Homo-oligomer: A and B are copies of this chain.
């Protein structure tokens, strides 16, 4: 059941035989995370890539003024990691915290390399997944530049209603790049 969700996710990106999909799944181990626990903390090196099978995570950085800035949320059927720390073997600027009791399938950095070496279609799979990820980042930068804060808030709530419903105003505003007070003002507008 847990692995079925991963297989379905993979098959959204590329055509794979069942045996190839099973081989990919063998590299992933299930990890259970309680609400408010951290999967990654700022300053440590991210040595894993994760796929959420239950629950929801928030990925955020704490800047030098002590403010939390949310980079993204990852709910069921989403991937998560700090790709910068993972690729460049450098201490992460990010925290990844469970917003509720969650489960995540984890592949270690070492196993990821073995996966690429042993299963050639994994290169195509992650090439396509990363392309889609760039599209999402590009769209977000365009929205940040060309939409008002209220339009960005409405877009977020309409596109990710389940995630939005789990958040405090402080968490949502730190994702939108606005203050908590400004979000309260926006929400009161007709």
Contacts and interface: CB of A to CB of B under 8 A. Distances in A.
A144 B87 contact: no
Interface string A97-132: 000000000000000000010001001101100111
B141 A140 contact: yes
Q: Is the interface of A mostly helix, strand, loop or mixed?
A: helix
A15 interface: no
Number of copies: 2
B69 A138 contact: no
A142 B87 contact: no
Q: Number of contact residues on A: which range applies? A: 35 or more
A158 to B, nearest CB: 18
B71 A142 contact: yes
Given A83-B135, A123-B123, A127-B130, 20 more contacts: A61-B142, A63-B146, A63-B147, A67-B146, A69-B146, A71-B142, A83-B134, A83-B138, A84-B139, A120-B120, A123-B124, A123-B127, A130-B133, A134-B134, A134-B137, A137-B137, A137-B141, A140-B141, A141-B141, A145-B174
